[in-house]
């Protein structure tokens, strides 16, 4: 069975050596002292290692089941969820007005990674609740907030997001679910929603569904979509539970992975719903929480890779097979451990350098979200908005790839479910799809985000990288290993942007055909930038006489690996992009 | 439920326009006339579409089960296996002396692809039998051949290959299974073997296990391994079945995919075995059939991608979502089909150009095997020996990646088992692992094959590419689209080879750390070469006034896509390789 230990030291390095969180001018960040975050991560790590990780294969094997309209979660999930609630983990970064602890989103992100690595399917019950909480918090009325949020903060009630219907996913304008206004101001919601994560289950008293639906007579398409609260049990004015609402589980989907999460078909049959915010402005309400939700999915990508990586390292050290070609490393044993072999190391270093880079990128993104929300900083908002599709698309693609790589270290045993490596790959696979499939992320990046506010944010990003390179030049080794590769990659990315500008005007397909490559390129440059920042922090720590020389030297070595072995991918992506739309669009649909 | 139609037209193009099989100076190839191969592929296609493909999801869902020592295959498998046998499909390229039809291996490969695409897990029962047949055919005594082969050719008896043990996979020198000589010349075989595909089942009267084991007192390690025939039921001299042998199924493994195949733990308890060939020369017997077996696994990689691609195309044409940014393509419908979107096309073109390139590479490889075996051509033997790890490693990596891409076209539905796209990815995953994990293929390529016979074969490959480029230069468009990109990629590959030569002497890790990238680079160059050959054939067909202009234009367009969008990967791999072993080997094992 796979094990998991929270990478608290790596996280502390990011929070304090790289991001210098407690010194940041963001409200609440002064609380993020090293000892405090260390204690929080240790506690989260204990719960993750001792309770959540052991349940991960259980959830995979048992899955959820629907019996007589009731959804049962796998053995042990209910008890673990109680521990999660009792520990106050669900309230960490929520608003104190509704019972939250008011911690920065950055800390919530670090803790979130720990839980997601340990048990992704389990953590989604809380994750979806957090998403629904955020939507009500941002757009609900004071009455709605008072009524629903405290119980959602504590996860006594959980939440869901209902967007997809059988015939429409990305193109929500095709939606058929309707909400008919009633005299008392409520609505009757009818329709079918699919792929509803944590749609129903036996771990909470109530489920607060957020449902997108159309009010008859409203505008056509996406502009006529509104957002509703549809509770499983209606809530009386005194907060007690009332009648069962007209919402039921049609079935639980059989999926490739995340079996521990109940992905439901939800049927709404004149269910009572309450409008959130303004009529027909449902998509806007959704979009305000999308950066956060997509960052959370991007986190799932590398968090699964982290868990898979940890186990691959253990296996590579334990499994004796073959000999080091440069001389036996375990001469008294029947063979050397796998980890002596260069190709096993190539594989592990790919994983390690990706995971640590992605974690840095995600933490940085979370701090930008805090800055945007808590300081009302429009530049931070613009920058994270630009990078969100990259965090989501690039990190989930790579995260899945790295889970597959980790599985490969196990040879045949990686294919056997008993060893658990298949589950990491199968679970990670969904992150490339939900919250907007990665092709849609690429479209969002190139079609909307690049040009947002006149291209201001992407220019700001390039300036930031340029300034970093300028400010930190002069150390020969650091220049060679970090600055120069970053400059080269950044130049490739700018060349791709230039290609889009020059050719996308004539034919938007010249940009769109390269969007996926651009997203990956951008991801590499961001991770390269983060590795340069981490390398710098490590270099400084060593120069300042840090005692843990091994730790910082390892950071530098891992960074050098990323810069020399991963970053050159930008050249390939640029070549693909610069070949334009013609090779991509050449065929008639009938000739595929 | 996914569907499948044999790509007979594409195969005919390869056999006749590109490889010009019936004109080749290989014994038996004169039979491969266009009409004949067309008829064979049509018949195989019928069986595949109507019988095997519909059973593919059944096998996945039901799996195999072990009850009271008997292994039951999924519903319908037994009947389908009967049809396979009755149609003579199992005997296609087997020796007529033992009831085979004596067709070229090339034709067997084409038919094999059709069956593997339709139902990979099912086809393995026959595939493993063919492998065991080849080993006995090459190394067994006349008596053994007469006794076992006729029934194996007809698949009345099936075969298995028993190599792996719980503690050893790649490093078979660690093997513990022992074979104790008996007075009558037989051996008593005892030990446990794992991951035995088609290890036991209810579709044949007998199972002929080929088992690697050590004869006590023999040389240490891999040099003391011998190969044995261990039948499930002993075979009397008159060919009738005798007593049950001491071999039993310990359990059926629970795997990520290929559930329709019974992957067994096999326990040998003083089972009667018969030595094949010479004592302690078991590995040699294995190796002679390895090119063929590995080519078969490389075929599985792209064959699964072909099946997944076909379904992705259907879905992309059916599913209405969003609008073409350059103007609605389905203005009367609620939305345009997915296939209008550039990123969907990018994805589908990646799949299409890979699959067709890989098929060409594999068919060419099969023709080299025929030439090696039937003409005793040592150069062909050397060339296919060099390319075998590339066919296996590159094609299974890419094949899996393309199955994942095809799944992605389906959005959320791709993650739901009901749609069948998950199965293609899960099934394809094993091909990266078995018959030597892909890292081992890379090691074989760089550590053994490159330098084989003084590097003669890799030089011959480069010469072949160079000659092709020289002979076919002069047409401006063809030069630009095919010749120049191929030259560039081939130059990258040569530079990588040069890097290994210059640095691998000092430290073999400089070569081994780049072995995986080299394998992928080599794969790209081979597919680029095949696309250039296909492009040339298409160009010539058009110049000769071929009526099916669309077909040949599509070939050229797909080739141009590969050359401009896939081939540039060689530059990235070269950069990785040229960064050497240091970044890869930098960390102490404890610092991972």
| Cα end-to-end span (Å), chain A | 44
CB A414 within 8 Å of CB B431: no
The beta strands (E) that lie in A148-224 are given as 157-162, 178-181, 187-196, 206-214
Instruction: Provide mean pLDDT across the span A229-235.
Output: 98
Report the DSSP pairing between strands B264-276 and B225-231: antiparallel
The beta strands (E) that lie in A253-407 are given as 264-276
Report the DSSP pairing between strands A187-196 and A264-276: antiparallel
Collapsing DSSP to helix, strand or coil, B244 comes out as strand
Which residues of chain A are within 8 Å of residue B254 when distances are taken between CB atoms?
416-418
Nearest CA in chain B to A576: B565
DSSP label of B230: E
Handedness of CA B519, B522, B526, B527 (dihedral sign): positive
Distance CA B140, CA B97 (A): 14
Burial status of residue A86 (CB atoms within 10 A of its CB: 0-12, 13-18, 19 or more): exposed
- Check whether A291 has a pLDDT greater than 90: no
- List the structure tokens of A185: 């101001």
Please, what are the domains in chain B? 8-287 (2.40.110.20), 289-436 (1.20.140.10), 445-587 (no CATH)
Please list, residue by residue across A500-533, b when 16 or more beta carbons sit within 10 angstroms of its beta carbon and e when fewer do: beebbeebbbbbbbbbbbbbbbbbbbbbbbbbbb
Q: At what angle do helices B53-62 and B421-429 cross, to 10 degrees?
A: 70
Q: Supply the mean pLDDT for chain A.
A: 97
The beta strands (E) that lie in A88-199 are given as 157-162, 178-181, 187-196
How many helices (H) and strands (E) are present in chain B, helices listed first?
21, 11
- Check whether A206 has a pLDDT greater than 90: yes
Check residue B101 and give its pLDDT: 97
Distances in Å between the alpha carbon of B352 and those of B187, B313, B559?
Answer: 51, 10, 10
Check residue A288 and give its pLDDT: 72
- Cα atoms in the Cβ-side hemisphere of radius 13 Å centred on A458: 24
Distance CA B361, CA B493 (A): 17
Active site residue B435: yes
Q: Supply the mean pLDDT for chain B.
A: 97
- Check whether A100 has a pLDDT greater than 80: yes
- What residue ranges of chain B have pLDDT lower than 70? none
Angle at B259 between CA B110 and CA B300, to 5 degrees: 25
- Closest by Cα among B61, B293, B340, B251 to B160: B293
Which residues of chain A are within 8 Å of residue B330 when distances are taken between CB atoms?
none
Check residue A383 and give its pLDDT: 97
Torsion angle in degrees (nearest 10) through CA of B122, B126, B132, B134: -140
Nearest CA in chain A to B562: A583
User: pLDDT tens digit string along A425-460?
Assistant: 999 999 999 999 999 999 999 999 999 999 999 999
Collapsing DSSP to helix, strand or coil, A269 comes out as strand
Nearest CA in chain A to B583: A561
- Closest by Cα among A539, A482, A296, A366 to A15: A366
> Within an 8 Å CB–CB cutoff, is residue A592 touching chain B?
yes
Distance CA A506, CA B542 (A): 32
Which residues of chain A are within 8 Å of residue B169 when distances are taken between CB atoms?
321, 411-412
Check residue A191 and give its pLDDT: 98
Collapsing DSSP to helix, strand or coil, A230 comes out as strand
- Check whether A280 has a pLDDT greater than 80: yes
Q: Which residues contact A402 (CB under 8 A, 6 or more apart)?
A: A302, A305, A308, A309, A350, A351, A354, A355
Q: How far A371 CA sits from the closest chain B CA (Å)? A: 33
Interface touch B565/A558, C-beta < 8 Å: no
- Closest by Cα among B375, B443, B463, B515 to B26: B375
Distance CA B195, CA B370 (A): 30
- Check whether A289 has a pLDDT greater than 80: no
CB B124 within 8 Å of CB B197: yes
Check residue B33 and give its pLDDT: 98
Which residues of chain A are within 8 Å of residue B434 when distances are taken between CB atoms?
412
Distance CA B359, CA B298 (A): 10
Check residue A285 and give its pLDDT: 84
CB B69 within 8 Å of CB B248: yes
- Closest by Cα among B563, B566, B569 to B516: B569
User: pLDDT tens digit string along A237-250?
Assistant: 999 999 999 999 99
Report the DSSP pairing between strands B264-276 and B187-196: antiparallel
- List the structure tokens of B129: 């039998």
User: pLDDT tens digit string along A500-557?
Assistant: 999 998 999 999 999 999 999 999 999 999 999 999 999 999 999 999 999 999 999 9
Interface touch B434/A412, C-beta < 8 Å: yes
- List the structure tokens of B101: 């039809």
Instruction: Provide mean pLDDT across the span A55-82.
Output: 98
Query: With bands split at pLDDT 50, 70 and 90, how would you rate the model's confidence at A292?
Result: confident
How many helices (H) and strands (E) are present in chain A, helices listed first?
21, 11
- Closest by Cα among A94, A73, A74 to A152: A94
Residue of B67, B435, B540, B553 marked active site = B435
> Within an 8 Å CB–CB cutoff, is residue A408 touching chain B?
yes
Which residues of chain B are within 8 Å of residue A333 when distances are taken between CB atoms?
none
Q: How far A43 CA sits from the closest chain B CA (Å)? A: 23
User: pLDDT tens digit string along B380-422?
Assistant: 999 999 999 999 999 999 999 999 999 999 999 999 999 999 9
CB B425 within 8 Å of CB B407: yes
Interface test with B, best of A297, A343, A485, A511 (most B CBs within 10 A): A343
Distance CA B304, CA B568 (A): 25
> Within an 8 Å CB–CB cutoff, is residue A404 touching chain B?
yes
Q: Which residues contact A476 (CB under 8 A, 6 or more apart)?
A: none
User: pLDDT tens digit string along B146-169?
Assistant: 999 999 999 999 999 999 999 998
Interface touch B592/A169, C-beta < 8 Å: no
Check residue B292 and give its pLDDT: 84
User: pLDDT tens digit string along A116-131?
Assistant: 999 999 999 999 999 9
Q: Which residues pair with A227 in a beta bridge?
A: A212, A276
Residue that has been written with the tokens 């010539």 in this structure: B540
């Amino acid at each position: 069975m796979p094990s998991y230990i929270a990478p608290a030291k790596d996280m502390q390095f990011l929070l304090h050596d790289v991001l210098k969180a407690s010194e940041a001018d963001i409200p609440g960040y002064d609380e993020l002292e090293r000892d405090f975050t260390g204690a929080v991560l240790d506690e989260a790590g204990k719960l993750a290692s001792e309770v959540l990780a052991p349940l991960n294969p259980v959830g995979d094997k048992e899955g959820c089941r629907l019996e007589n309209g009731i959804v049962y979660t796998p053995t042990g999930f209910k008890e673990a969820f109680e521990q999660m609630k009792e520990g106050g983990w669900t309230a960490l970064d929520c608003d104190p007005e509704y019972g939250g602890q008011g911690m920065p989103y950055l800390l919530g992100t670090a803790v979130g990674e720990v839980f997601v690595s340990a048990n992704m399917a389990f953590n989604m019950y809380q994750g979806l609740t957090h998403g629904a909480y955020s939507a009500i918090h941002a757009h609900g009325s004071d009455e709605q907030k008072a009524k629903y949020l405290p119980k959602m903060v504590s996860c006594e009630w959980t939440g869901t997001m209902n967007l997809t219907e059988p015939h429409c996913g990305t193109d929500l304008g095709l939606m058929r679910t309707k909400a008919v206004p009633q005299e008392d101001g409520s609505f009757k919601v009818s329709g079918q929603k699919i792929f509803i994560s944590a749609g129903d289950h036996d771990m909470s008293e109530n489920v607060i569904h957020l449902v997108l639906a159309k009010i008859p007579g409203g505008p056509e398409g996406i502009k006529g979509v509104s957002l509703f609260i549809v509770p499983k049990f209606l809530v009386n004015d005194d907060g007690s539970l009332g009648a069962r609402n007209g919402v039921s589980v049609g079935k639980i989907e059989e999926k490739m992975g995340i079996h521990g999460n109940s992905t439901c078909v939800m049927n709404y049959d004149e269910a009572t719903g309450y409008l959130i915010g303004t009529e027909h402005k449902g998509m806007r309400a959704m979009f305000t929480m999308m950066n956060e939700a997509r960052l959370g999915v991007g986190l799932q990508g590398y968090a699964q890779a982290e868990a898979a990586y940890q186990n691959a390292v253990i296996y590579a050290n334990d499994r004796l097979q073959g000999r080091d070609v440069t001389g036996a490393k375990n001469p008294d044993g029947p063979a050397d451990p796998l980890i002596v072999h260069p190709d096993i190391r190539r594989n592990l270093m790919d994983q390690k350098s990706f995971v640590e880079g992605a974690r840095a990128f995600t933490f940085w993104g979370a701090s930008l979200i805090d800055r945007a929300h808590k300081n009302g900083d429009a530049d931070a908002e613009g920058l994270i908005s630009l990078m969100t599709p990259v965090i989501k698309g690039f990190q989930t693609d790579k995260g899945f790839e790295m889970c597959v790589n980790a599985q490969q270290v196990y040879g045949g045993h990686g294919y056997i479910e008993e060893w658990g490596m298949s589950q990491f790959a199968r679970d990670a696979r969904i992150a490339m799809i939900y919250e907007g499939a990665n092709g849609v992320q690429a479209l969002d990046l190139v079609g909307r985000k690049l040009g947002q506010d006149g291209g201001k944010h992407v220019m700001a990003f390039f300036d930031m990288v340029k300034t970093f390179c300028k400010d930190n030049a002069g150390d020969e080794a650091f220049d060679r290993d970090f600055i120069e590769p970053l400059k080269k990659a950044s130049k490739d990315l700018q060349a791709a942007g230039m290609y889009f500008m020059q050719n996308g005007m004539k034919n938007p397909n010249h940009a769109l055909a390269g969007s996926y490559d651009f997203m990956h390129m951008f991801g590499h440059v961001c991770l390269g930038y983060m590795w340069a920042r981490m390398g710098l922090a490590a270099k400084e720590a060593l120069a300042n006489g840090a005692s843990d020389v091994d730790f910082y030297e390892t950071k530098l070595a891992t960074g050098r690996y990323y810069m020399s072995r991963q970053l050159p991918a930008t050249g390939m992506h640029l070549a693909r992009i610069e070949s334009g739309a013609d090779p991509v669009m050449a065929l008639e649909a009938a000739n595929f």
